[in-house]
Amino acid sequence: MLSLGFGDQSGQVNIKSPGSLLPGGFCSLSHGVKDKNEETWCQSHLADQQLHQLLEKVDADLAEEACQQGCLYCEGKLHRADYDRKPRGGPQWERRYSFCCAQEDCRRRRTPESVRFLGRRVYAGLVVVLITAMIHGLKPGRVRRIREALQIDSRTLKRWRQWWLDNFVRSSFWKAARARFMPLVCEQRLPLSLWLSFKLEQRDRLLAVLEFLKPITTPAAWKELAM
């Protein structure tokens, strides 16, 4: 099986430390106990303009860096060739930065990593991340209202959950990354267990999660992860 290069597109694994972690095993967290603040901080992250601007800036820097490195195949110059996006239920980011080699006989694409777009999906990475934390422990009626506000249907939510449990857990990215977490992240409770380990309620920690996940945001990674 093809082993994908994460971190950059040259095949190096580059995983940042998840930083400070909660004590105790995440599997031991009781189900159904809802922190009253959880929904509030999730909603404030979703609406936080400064955070959105910060994520935009990080993506612009990642794009700038990739552009300066040039084409990975022929060292040709890169031209902007962004992808159109129409994200739902979050910031209205309409462009995913991408480049195309200027050399006639090459023309290969280079799409830098992103802290805004997790996959090809119509949802921004922070929506995908926050929805799990937001609906954790809520009654079905409340979950439905949040889903509706974010324009996510229940099948999509179920598919996402299954994706974390199957594709994500089996990925070479996660296999390399999971050992960095101490205590270990409970894989049966993904992705919530991962968010808890990052202490997502603090704004800078949300950026940390999205930066942690950025190696899986390139088209090369999507192939393995079926995103």
Angle (nearest 5°) at CA 49 between 87 and 64? 70
Residue of 21, 67, 74, 138 that binds Zn ion (CB under 5 A) = 74
**Residue closer to Zn ion (CB basis): 79 or 145:** 79
From 169, 162, 177, select the one nearest 212 (Cα to Cα): 177
Angle (nearest 5°) at CA 112 between 3 and 194? 65
Stretch that binds Zn ion, among 26-34, 93-101, 124-132, 194-202 (CB under 5 A): 93-101
In the complex, least distance from residue 11 CB atom to Zn ion, rounded to whole angstroms: 17
200 CB neighbour count, 10 Å cutoff: 22
Check if the beta carbon of residue 219 is closer than 8 Å to that of residue 53.
Answer: no
In the complex, least distance from residue 74 CB atom to Zn ion, rounded to whole angstroms: 3
Burial of 56 (C-beta count, 10 Å sphere; 0-12/13-18/19+)? middle
**Residue closer to Zn ion (CB basis): 76 or 87:** 76
Residue 112 within binding range of Zn ion, rule CB under 5 A: no
Query: Which residues are within 8 A (CB) of 135 and not within 5 positions of it... i.e. 6 or more apart?
Result: 142, 143, 146, 147, 157
Residue 88 within binding range of Zn ion, rule CB under 5 A: no
Residue 78 within binding range of Zn ion, rule CB under 5 A: no
Residue 69 within binding range of Zn ion, rule CB under 5 A: no
Q: How far apart are CA 33 and CA 66, in angstroms?
A: 44
Query: Which residues are within 8 A (CB) of 73 and not within 5 positions of it... i.e. 6 or more apart?
Result: 101, 106, 108
Residue of 46, 51, 71, 208 that binds Zn ion (CB under 5 A) = 71
**Residue closer to Zn ion (CB basis): 71 or 200:** 71
Residue 73 within binding range of Zn ion, rule CB under 5 A: yes
Binding-site size, Zn ion (CB under 5 A): 7
Residue 76 within binding range of Zn ion, rule CB under 5 A: yes
Stretch that binds Zn ion, among 2-10, 36-44, 50-58, 100-108 (CB under 5 A): 100-108
Residue of 103, 167, 176, 199 that binds Zn ion (CB under 5 A) = 103
Which spans of this chain sit near Zn ion (rule: CB under 5 A)?
Answer: 71, 73-74, 76, 101, 103, 106
